[in-house]
């Protein structure tokens, strides 16, 4: 936007249902934000957090299966779309229960310029490539974009972000080049969402977001030891509070359907408030501090309806149980909530979890072994050495939390067997994090009474490629080391029996990707797409299909 525009960031189209939608903006001052569409207007007063101003406008009374072009006003001043925009007019496409769903997903996106230098170091941004293809009518608009973590990197900042940090404080001051406080988080989101093509696509494609570790810090909530060590640093508390506060503002509130939003304890402070801008700074800081100590007191997970299918977006970071003698990816309240959501009578059940539920089998076994060796029952040297290895090489996925892994697997198998209603055609985990993409599937589910296919689809990264040397290791863990790691896991005390084996059926591949899951005729098509620079035109990469998998 121009320097004089009151619109700082956005609009982002967030929740969209059959009759409702929400649109998020950041603005430069206290104001009334209006969405205009189809002869109607919807309004919201701004709220303030750490001297930054925001609004989430709720649209109601919409009709299913319609497209509504919209514009944005701030205190009556038109601010979006821009008069000279090369992109189509922003619009909301409401859901239609009878229309097969199209779901896009991916994770891990760094925010650096889109030029030859950064294409060489970071690759082409797959989300931006899809945006350009959509604008040209070459890519169907998804019903939702599931952004599965690491939308921003608080611990691996770009030169542009470091320049902003250096304008506020010395980079020699802890935490150095990492994000310190809310103001720096706010600028981080601005860098992530300000490119014109990214800004446009986020204004027309509904988004469902969930955090992963880099939104806060690498290895966030890996273990009890990690938690104890990081809390000894003088800068961590402010970082965590600022990270969760900014996540609530920029990501979480837009995830929720209007009826869910109305139940949120912070959002309720805005409902029925006196005229004027409400300051949510202290309530949000208090919430962020509380949920770190007592994660069971607040839920970041949520669901989205997608025609005849359902998407469950599951928090696999903040809800962890980390006591040395009791580790689980989900606390008891979170597991009970998931139990309620995992039901049948759906075409497909999608479970979005930022870290893969089904890792490549060799890597899963390595993580299960590491959890056993790092337990309090092991000798001090073994325990300490394994803990150091766990933190160094990120052995902290579902495989390293065997208790929660087994419990969730049983929930999934119960719905696949038809014990919770008619079984869906697939139960598909959508994940990212690991900087390579693949498809895994439970082998011979019918032998366990299941009538659904149990699938893991991973899309990572959107833009943050894995170093080539590590790619070789990941390929070996996916295939060559499967049998040796299984042999070790079976012989390691404390590693549970693997009741439902799985295998990689496609991949791994290592391109920057965005993936789509398309429901049609009772089946599911998964497709991964990337961007290629053609004839040196770095500003306009062309879309290329990396892989297509029919289920």
State the DSSP string of 230-262: HTTSTTHHHHHHHHHHHHIIIIIHHHS-HHHHT
Residue, of 377 and 195, whose pLDDT is higher: 195
Confidence check: pLDDT of 76 > 60: yes
Considering the domain architecture, whether residues 70 and 121 belong to the same structural domain is answered as: no
Considering the domain architecture, whether residues 426 and 458 belong to the same structural domain is answered as: yes
Considering the domain architecture, whether residues 116 and 17 belong to the same structural domain is answered as: no
Q: What is the pLDDT of residue 477?
A: 64
Percentage of the chain lying above the pLDDT 90 cut: 90
Q: Is the distance from CB of 126 to CB of 530 less than 8 angstroms?
A: yes
pLDDT tens, position by position, 203-213: 999 999 999 99
Would the pTM of this model clear 0.85, i.e. be above it?
yes
Kind and range of the H or E run holding 287? helix 281-293
| Whole-number Å distance between alpha carbons of 42 and 59 | 6
Least confident of 282-286, 488-492, 545-549: 488-492
Considering the domain architecture, whether residues 79 and 122 belong to the same structural domain is answered as: no
Determine how β-strand 309-314 pairs with β-strand 302-306: antiparallel
* Residue after which a domain boundary falls, among 99, 117, 138: 99
Q: Is the distance from CB of 42 to CB of 91 less than 8 angstroms?
A: no
pLDDT tens, position by position, 6-62: 999 999 999 999 999 999 999 999 999 999 999 999 999 999 999 999 999 999 999
CATH of the domain at 5: 2.60.40.380
Considering the domain architecture, whether residues 123 and 57 belong to the same structural domain is answered as: no
pLDDT tens, position by position, 457-466: 999 999 999 8
Q: How confident is the model at residue 3 (pLDDT cuts 50, 70, 90)?
A: low
Mean pLDDT, rounded, for 87-105: 95
Considering the domain architecture, whether residues 297 and 284 belong to the same structural domain is answered as: yes
Considering the domain architecture, whether residues 118 and 84 belong to the same structural domain is answered as: no
> Contacts for 129-134 with beta carbons within 8 Å, 24 or more apart?
129/514, 129/529, 129/530, 129/531, 129/541, 129/542, 129/543, 130/104, 130/201, 130/514, 130/529, 130/543, 131/197, 131/198, 131/200, 131/201, 132/197, 132/540, 132/541, 132/543, 133/543, 134/201, 134/204, 134/205
Distance of CA 111 to the CA centre of its chain: 16
Q: How confident is the model at residue 476 (pLDDT cuts 50, 70, 90)?
A: low
Residue, of 273 and 393, whose pLDDT is higher: 393
Considering the domain architecture, whether residues 248 and 314 belong to the same structural domain is answered as: yes
Considering the domain architecture, whether residues 21 and 105 belong to the same structural domain is answered as: no
Confidence check: pLDDT of 92 > 60: yes
Confidence check: pLDDT of 1 > 70: no
Domain count, the chain: 2
Considering the domain architecture, whether residues 133 and 85 belong to the same structural domain is answered as: no
CATH of the domain at 210: 3.60.21.10
Q: Record the tokens describing residue 389, joined without a space.
A: 């290895």
Considering the domain architecture, whether residues 122 and 59 belong to the same structural domain is answered as: no
* Residue after which a domain boundary falls, among 50, 68, 99: 99
Range of the domain at 445: 100-550
Residue-averaged pLDDT of the chain: 94
Confidence check: pLDDT of 274 > 90: no
Considering the domain architecture, whether residues 314 and 415 belong to the same structural domain is answered as: yes
Q: How confident is the model at residue 70 (pLDDT cuts 50, 70, 90)?
A: very high
pLDDT tens, position by position, 514-535: 999 999 877 999 999 999 999 9
* Residue after which a domain boundary falls, among 77, 99, 121: 99
Give the residue from 56, 208, 87, 198 showing the smallest Cα distance to 143. Answer: 208
Q: Record the tokens describing residue 132, joined without a space.
A: 């350009």
């Amino acid at each position: 936007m121009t320097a004089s525009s009151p619109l700082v960031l956005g609009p982002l189209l967030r929740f969209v249902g059959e009759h409702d939608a929400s649109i998020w903006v950041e603005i430069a001052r206290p104001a009334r934000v209006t969405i205009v569409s189809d002869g109607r207007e919807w309004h919201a007063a701004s709220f303030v957090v750490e001297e930054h101003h925001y609004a989430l406008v709720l649209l109601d009374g919409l009709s299913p299966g319609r497209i509504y072009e919209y514009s944005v006003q701030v205190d009556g001043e038109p601010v979006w779309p821009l008069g000279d925009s090369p992109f189509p007019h922003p619009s909301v496409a409401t859901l239609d229960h009878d229309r097969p769903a199209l779901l896009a997903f991916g994770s891990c996106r760094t925010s650096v310029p889109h030029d030859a230098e950064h294409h060489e170091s970071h690759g082409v941004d797959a989300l931006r490539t899809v945006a350009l293809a959509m604008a040209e009518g070459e890519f169907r608009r998804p019903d939702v974009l599931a952004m599965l973590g690491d939308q921003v990197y608080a611990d691996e900042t770009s030169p542009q972000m470091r320049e902003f940090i250096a304008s506020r404080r010395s980079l020699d001051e802890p935490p150095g080049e990492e994000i310190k406080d809310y103001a720096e988080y706010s600028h981080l989101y601005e860098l992530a969402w300000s490119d014109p093509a990214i800004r446009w696509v986020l204004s027309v494609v509904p988004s469902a977001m969930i955090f992963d570790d880099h939104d806060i810090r690498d290895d966030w909530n890996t273990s009890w030891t990690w938690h104890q060590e990081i809390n000894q640093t003088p800068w961590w508390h402010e970082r965590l509070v600022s990270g969760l506060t900014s996540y609530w503002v920029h990501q979480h509130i837009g995830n929720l359907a209007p009826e869910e939003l109305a139940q949120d304890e912070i959002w309720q402070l805005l409902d029925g408030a006196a005229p004027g801008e409400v300051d949510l700074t202290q309530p949000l800081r208090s919430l962020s501090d509380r949920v770190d100590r007592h994660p069971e007191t607040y839920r970041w997970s949520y669901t989205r309806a997608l025609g005849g299918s359902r998407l469950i977006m599951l928090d696999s970071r903040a809800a962890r149980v980390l006591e040395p003698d009791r580790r689980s990816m989900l606390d008891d309240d979170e597991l009970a909530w998931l139990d309620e959501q995992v039901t049948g009578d759906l075409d497909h059940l999608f479970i979005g979890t930022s870290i893969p539920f089904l890792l490549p089998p060799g890597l899963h076994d390595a993580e299960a072994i590491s959890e056993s060796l790092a337990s309090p029952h092991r000798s001090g040297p073994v325990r300490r050495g394994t803990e150091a290895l766990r933190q160094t090489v990120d052995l902290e996925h579902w495989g390293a939390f065997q208790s929660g892994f087994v419990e969730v697997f049983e929930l999934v198998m119960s719905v696949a067997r038809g014990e919770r209603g008619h079984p869906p055609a697939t139960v598909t985990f959508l994940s990212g994090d690991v900087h390579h993409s693949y498809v895994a599937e439970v082998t011979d589910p019918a032998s366990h009474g299941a009538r659904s296919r149990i699938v893991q689809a991973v899309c990572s990264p959107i833009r943050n490629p894995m170093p080539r040397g590590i790619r070789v290791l990941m390929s070996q863990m996916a295939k060559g080391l499967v049998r040796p790691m299984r042999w070790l896991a079976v012989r390691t005390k404390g590693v549970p029996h693997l009741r439902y084996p799985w295998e990689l059926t496609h991949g791994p591949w290592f391109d920057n990707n965005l993936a789509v899951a398309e429901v049609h005729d009772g089946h599911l098509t998964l497709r991964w797409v990337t961007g290629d620079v053609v004839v040196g035109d770095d500003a306009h990469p062309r879309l290329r299909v990396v892989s297509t998998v029919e289920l």
